[in-house]
Structure 1
Amino acid sequence: MNFDTASLTGRGGRADNEDACDWTAGGGLTAWVVADGLGGEQGGEIASRLAVETFLESFRLDPFLSSEALLSYVAQADRTIQVRQAADENLARMGSTIVAAVCDGQRLRAIHLGDSRFYWFRRGKVFFQTKDHSLPQALCDAGIIAPEEVRSHPNRNVLLGCLGSPDRPTPSVSPEWEIEPGSALLLCTDGFWAPLREEEMEGTLLHAANAADWLARMLELRHQREPALSDNDNYTAIGVFAGGIQSPKD
């Protein structure tokens, strides 16, 4: 199966962009990765870059789709960050989220740690999305706040797991699914998804001619939001059309 892949990133209202993203192919598989360096900590940009580069390097050396393989790629990314932390006291508190997906053209699996998200759209609708490792998501799971409150919660950026943490939290790995032509994938940092509702992601997907067009349409909506929601964070996203470029709906 062919994949039409596009990406975008921006610093938003911040002085620096601490996000990173990339993708690669090897051994008949394709891997996509997005990472968000922890804001406010020195070295966030370094942490996210190390996360993406190490994950993809580990994948290229031993490309597999199993949950064990994906966990090993993330573990290696975490070790790389931990080694860099120990070598430079100025980087001792750096960290990063990570979200990745791997596909062999027929089967798909995703992994994440933190609040960067993976969305899988089937037949134009959200079929699966990851659950954040964050305080607001925990409050939502406990029934204390509603799902729609996660985006605007005052403690939205309080993470319960990330790369570089001394607690060494366990990433969440999705089931393995069969992927069909016409599916779309979205991997993105919280600065991208937070200002957008899932139905808006679906609506822009319906009219998009390709992955780049889809991302551009979502970015335009993001920029239309109130500054408190959209302009105070870096934003990064990878969009993927499975089966190549599709025919948009009028």
Structure 2
Amino acid sequence: MITHIAGESHRLQLTVSAVTERGARATNEDYLGMIDLGRQGFCCTLADGAGGHGNGALAARLTVDAVLGAYRENPLFAPASLASLISRAEHTVSEEQPMSKSRMHMSATVVLLCIDPLTGRALWAHWGDSRLYCFRDGKVLRMTEDHSVVQQLLHAGVYPRSDPRTLPNRSVLAGAVGADSQVPPTVLHESMDLLEGDAFLLCSDGLWENLHESEMESALQTSERPDAWLHNMTTSVMTQGRPHQDNLSALAVWVGANPAVN
């Protein structure tokens, strides 16, 4: 899937692609989506569910639908607005948890990206260990920091200069939608001005925990389209043949010149 988004008044054109794979799991509990409101803005989001009995998938779908539904109703481009999108997801999942015993502990990570097409600026937010990477000139420029127990231990100096991928209990979260969270969501406090050639990757841990950032960069530098970039990264992970490969999902957003204004 590949989508081109640009209006005559947009400063930049967005090219978007998405992928989701079940991996070696019985079901896929990742969910993703996007919404383009033209001059009012663009938003894409990804969630990775947990909770067993298939209810991780429900938590992920509820999270994504709540974020996109709230954005459609109120597409304000501001940090407080992004915080409210996650708050809507938290409220939605929390309302569903008492509906059955099997749903009581369902939860989902979430990561979302919003872009103002008129000004060409971006904001993002996340909760949990689904990540957003921003690439510029083919290299990682910025990335989110996981809300995980391992990340807290890294901050405390217990594991100095270690890669979270190599540490035990890496998947134990300190915050997520519907969870008993120790930390709140993180929202970018100041929007980022985009340049032609910038690229964003939103992904679940099924991708990033099996693919180093240097490999993401190499795949980006050799790919002509975002769908090819996702295909190359996904293939690299899936061909490792890990017997417990987690669900793997990703959204790619490439920023380019708007042909309507050039």
Q: Deviations over 1:19-61 (max 9, x none)?
A: 0001111143110100000154651000000000110000011
1:180 to 185, 195, 198: 195
- Identical counterparts, % of pairs: 34
- Counterpart in the other structure of 1:126: 140
1:243 matches 2:250: no
Q: Distance in 1 between matches of 2:182 and 2:73?
A: 24
Contact 2:174 2:181 in 1 (8 A): no
1:144 is matched with 158
Contact 2:53 2:102 in 1 (8 A): no
Give the whole-Å Cα distance in 1 for the aligned partners of 2:226 and 2:26. 28
Count of aligned pairs between the two proteins: 243
Q: For residues 221 and 145 of structure 1, what CA distance do their matches in structure 2 show?
A: 28
- Which residue in the other structure is 1:47 paired with? 59
Contact 1:122-1:183 within 8 A present in 2 as well: yes
Instruction: Name whichever of 200-209 and 236-245 sits farther off.
Output: 236-245
Cα separation, 1, equivalents of 2:78 and 2:45? 16
Give the distance between the partners of 1:244 and 1:17, measured in 2 at CA. 35
Superposition pairs for residues 1-250 of structure 1, below 5 Å? 1-26=12-37, 27-38=39-50, 40=52, 42-105=54-117, 106-167=120-181, 169-174=183-188, 175-225=190-240, 227=242, 231-243=244-256
CA contact (8 A) 2:174 2:182 kept: no
Unpaired segments ≥5 residues, structure 2: 1-11
Contact 1:42 1:93 in 2 (8 A): no
In 2, the alpha carbon distance for the partners of 1:73 and 1:162 equals 14
Deviations 1:107-166 (A, max 9, x none): 101100000000000111111000000011112222222454311322011000010124
The amino acid of 1:227's aligned partner reads R
Q: CA–CA distance in 2 between the matches of 1:206 and 1:41?
A: 40
SS at structure 2 position matched to 1:21: strand
Say what the alpha-carbon RMSD is for the aligned residues: 1.8
Q: Is the 8 A contact 1:98 1:112 kept in 2?
A: yes
- The answer as to whether partners of 2:32 and 2:64 remain within 8 angstroms in 1 is yes
Paired AA for residue 252 in structure 2 = G
Deviation at 1:220, TM superposition (A): 1.7
Q: What amino acid is aligned across from residue 59 of structure 1 in structure 2?
A: Y
Q: 1:191 to 1:84 in 2, by over 3 A?
A: same
Residues 20 and 52, structure 1, Cα contact 8 Å, conserved in 2: yes
SS in 2 for 1:227: coil
Q: Residue 50 of structure 2 aligns to a residue in which SS?
A: coil
Contact 1:41 1:94 survives alignment (8 Å): no
What's the CA shift for 1:177?
0.7
Structure 1 residue runs of 5 or longer lacking an equivalent are: 246-250
Question: Separation in 2 of the partners of 1:99 and 1:90?
Answer: 25
Displacement of 1:223: 2.1
| 8 Å CA contact retained: 2:204, 2:248 | yes
Measure how far apart 1:178 and its partner are.
0.3
